[in-house]
Amino acid sequence: MTTTKLSPEELTKGDFTETSKPFELFGEWLEDAQGAEINDPNAVALSTVDEDGLPNVRMVLLKGFDEAGFVFYTNLESAKGRELLSSGKAAMCFHWKSLRRQVRVRGLVTPVSAEEADAYYSTRPRGSRIGAWASKQSRPLESRFALEKEVARYTARFAVGEIPRPEHWSGMRLAPVSIEFWHDRPFRLHDRIVFQRRDVSNAWTKQRLYP
């Protein structure tokens, strides 16, 4: 697969020196990434903390965003799901190496509605819907055969008709209180702009940071 090379003019699309709308700028940068990244331009590192305050980080896929926040999906009984539900806080980091750009997000996390989760779940491939039932995510697995056995069991159970969404599988929405945009510049004199607000009901403020 070949990547699309952006011109210098295209690389400055979404320049953040004038904008006061972080979600609009993020949308422009994500659109650029979709034309430049080979795999998963919507991949993002998600950071949480466990009950001892020890951080965890892993890659997830962003499945949607708007002014309300950034949405991803998970098994709520996994380590990730338990940590999100326990603390109600998380951070994200998007890194698009081909564009030399990064976006960091911090904020509060809440579950999406059942209706929203059902709507997204229905768009997933049938095998992925089976997998949501078969996998006891993050818990010990005695062998690969044991997982395949569970997949076979649920494949037989849902041999015909629709596959309902498991109650333990749903989406989470990160409502940001901070969004930082980073753009590589020569000699490590990078551009950094952070948008912040006290809570989701407040207006954004914008601040340029030293690189």
What confidence tens digit (pLDDT) does each residue in 86-138 have?
999 999 999 999 999 999 999 999 999 999 999 999 999 999 999 999 999 99
Q: Is 176 exposed, middle or buried (0-12, 13-18, 19+ CB in 10 A)?
A: buried
Task: Provide the token pair at 164.
Answer: 């309902």
Mean pLDDT, residues 171-198 taken together: 95
Res 20: pLDDT: 73
pLDDT for residue 34? 95
Q: Which residues are catalytic?
A: 188
Other CB atoms within 10 A of residue 164 CB: 12
Domains and CATH numbers, the chain: 21-122+169-208 (2.30.110.10), 125-164 (no CATH)
DSSP 8-state secondary structure symbol assigned to residue 98:
G
Q: What is the pLDDT of residues 52-89, one digit of tens each?
A: 999 999 999 999 999 999 999 999 999 999 999 999 99
Residue 42 in this model has a pLDDT that exceeds 80: yes
DSSP secondary structure string, 57-97?
A: EEEEE--EEETTEEEEEEETTSHHHHHHHHH-EEEEEEEEG
Residue 150 CA to residue 165 CA, distance in Å, equals 16
d(CA 87, CA 129): 27
Rounded to a whole number of angstroms, the distance between the first and last alpha carbons of the chain is 34
